[in-house]
Amino acid sequence: GAVVSQHPSRVICKSGTSVKIECRSLDFQATTMFWYRQFPKQSLMLMATSNEGSKATYEQGVEKDKFLINHASLTLSTLTVTSAHPEDSSFYICSARDWTGNQPQHFGDGTRLSIL
């Protein structure tokens, strides 16, 4: 079946650095990808919707200059956490949907980001 690959699975870095997370659809074209954030023992909160070839749509309260999203191709979207701080530590999960929009979203395995 369809697979979404997310990389890296875990990142530990110092405060002030920028971190890039990749989300790839491996066997289908994903015109739309979604980025979620999950706090410990809580649900997933949608951060932004990423459409191939256009600007991402951010949810209210999500800083677009902090969380840069690029969706340059039909199989790759990236989330860059710029100048990361400890409060950015979280589990980030991407999902992708095929161009028809008729299939459920397929999720990556998530990236655990820890900022020291």
Partner 1 sequence: GDSVTQMEGPVTLSEEAFLTINCTYTATGYPSLFWYVQYPGEGLQLLLKATKADDKGSNKGFEATYRKETTSFHLEKGSVQVSDSAVYFCALTRPMDTGRRALTFGSGTRLQVQP
Min separation Cβ 21 and partner 1, Å: 12
Min separation Cβ 11 and partner 1, Å: 14
In this structure, what token pair is assigned to residue 22? 């990749």
Min separation Cβ 16 and partner 1, Å: 27
Q: Which residues bind partner 1 (CB under 8 A)?
A: 6, 32, 34, 41-44, 46, 49, 93, 95, 97, 101-102, 104-110, 112
Give residue for tokens 């710029």.
82
What is the torsion angle, in degrees rounded to the nearest 10, for the CA atoms of residue 85, residue 116, residue 113 and residue 38?
-70
If the CB atoms of residues 19 and 23 are measured against partner 1, the closer one turns out to be 23
Identity (one letter) of the amino acid at 14? K
